[in-house]
Amino acid sequence: MRKTSIILLAAALPMAVQAANTEFKFGGYVKYDAMMTKYSDGEGNDVLADLGKVFYVPSLTPTGDAEGRTEFDSGVQTSRFNFKTTTSLDNGEKVVSFIELDFLSGGANERISNSSNPRLRHAFFKYGNYTFGQTWTTLMNPAHLPESVDFLGVSDGSVFARQSMVRYTNGPLQVALENSETALNVVGKRTETDDATLPDLIVRYNIKADNADFMVAGIARQFAYTAEKTATDKEVDESVIRFGLTASGKVQLGKDDVKFSVSKGHLGRYISINASNDATLTKKGDIVGNSVTAAYIGYRHFWTDSVRSTLAYSMFRADNHQDAVNDSNGVLNESSKSIRANVMWSPAPKMTFGVEASKATLKKESGAEGDFKRLHFTAKYAF
């Protein structure tokens, strides 16, 4: 018995030493959402559209001549859980790892269990100046997003993506090679995706002042598509390099703040939750990038130490190639916009209740439009 105990102790010792050099931290929050939405042209009728009942996705706003309706939805899918470690190495360096999950990937229906499958948000580690893994794209700064009851809120004008990468950080400069994906309007096939042969290259510079911080970032992307035959019976093996720019910031006005962002160029899937695809494969078999323009601004005012309000406006516009417009019968998204105002109350440091009123409008290339008005309540406790 004594010999067995010694063996077990010896086996556990390396783990105990490692644990002694590593700090563990659990975190996350529980978030309940309830919303009443009045659609001008009916609701979406497919699985993807159900995501628009959890948070605002501009491209899922119903358009057309369908009869409008009002619907109530509630859920906890945006709740999340994360695990962080910080390990001190013998050489004096530290390794930080982070994994986070939420429950936005679907699951059982609402008739019985309301289950939701876990979804990987972040999985990365940092060592020295380098970050390896999946996290927010270097093209965005989440700290520059206005506070909203909605999961994202200013979706129309936001750069928003999480993906795998290798990122180098040196003071205010960041350079990253990130996962590439080309979402194409293909004449005769509508939408297809293809991996480029090169990663997306992103360069970002952060600027800090006494009462403000800003970022400017640029991206160089390869759009690629390979197919034996297209709708025009031509073999295709095409690629082009295109570029995009974005700038965002936060200005502190006493306790209040203003947050904003402006983006322009061939940003495609990075903008407005992929309301516009990256490029079009034309009838001639050429790849032409789709340029987009997007922006948002939000002002937050503190009424008291625990009560504040945010008023935010967001917009998006795409310059789709005419071949894709004609081939899609005008169903491609041309533009969207939204406005929202909320009241947030935090009776305790990690507890928040909020109410938000919003209106969103989507316009198709055909000229069809749709909008919805939403009243959204949330209750959130972070741990």
- What is the DSSP secondary-structure string of 239-271? EEEEEEEEEEEEEEETTEEEEEEEEEES-GGGB
Q: Using one digit for the tens of pLDDT, what is the confidence trace for 87-104?
A: 999 998 999 999 999 998
H helix intervals, the chain = 2-20, 322-327
* 267 inside domain: yes
| CA–CA distance, 251 with 296 (Å, rounded to integer) | 14
In a domain, 2, yes or no: no
> Considering the domain boundaries, does residue 7 fall inside one?
no
Statement: residue 322 has pLDDT above 80: yes
Q: Report CA-CA distances (Å) from 77 to 16, 99, 119, 213, 325.
A: 36, 17, 10, 32, 35
- Report yes or no on 178 lying in a domain: yes
Q: How far apart are CA 172 and CA 141, in angstroms?
A: 13
Residue 331: band (very low, low, confident or very high) from pLDDT cuts 50, 70, 90: confident
pLDDT at 9 exceeding the cut of 60: no
For 77, 78, 136, 240, 357, the CA distances from 196, given in Å and listed in that order, are: 33, 32, 20, 10, 41
How many residues does the structure list for the chain?
Answer: 383
Asked, for residue 251, whether it belongs to a domain, the answer is yes
Task: Note whether residue 185 is domain-resident.
Answer: yes
pTM of the model: 0.89
CA distance 172 to 194: 33
Model pLDDT, residue 111: 82
CA distances from 146 to 199, 234, 256, 342 (A): 30, 47, 12, 11
Cα first-last separation, the chain:
42
The domain that contains 39 carries what CATH number?
A: 2.40.160.10
For residue 213, the enclosing domain spans: 21-382
| Backbone angle region of 272, left / alpha / beta, with phi > 0 → left and psi within -120 to 50 → alpha | left
Instruction: At 299, list the tokens.
Output: 């002002």
Structure-block tokens of residue 324:
């894709």
Query: Is the model's pLDDT at 13 over the cut of 50?
Result: no
Taking residues 30-37, report their average pLDDT.
Answer: 97
Binning pLDDT at 50, 70 and 90, where does residue 196 land?
A: confident
Q: Regarding beta strands 279-281 and 182-186, do their DSSP bridges make them parallel or antiparallel, or are they unpaired?
A: parallel
Tokens of 183: 């979402």
3-state secondary structure of 359: strand
Q: Would the pLDDT of 11 be above 90?
A: no
Q: What's the pLDDT band for 134 if we cut at 50, 70, 90?
A: very high
Residue 144: strand, helix, or coil: helix
Residue range 269-280: average pLDDT? 93
Q: What's the token pair of residue 220?
A: 């160089």
Give domain status of residue 3, yes or no: no
Residue 33 located in a structural domain? yes
Per-residue pLDDT at 3 exceeds 60: no
Question: Collapsing DSSP states into helix, strand and coil, what is residue 183?
Answer: strand
Locus of tokens 């316009």: 363
* Number of separate domains in the chain: 1
SS3 call for 52: helix
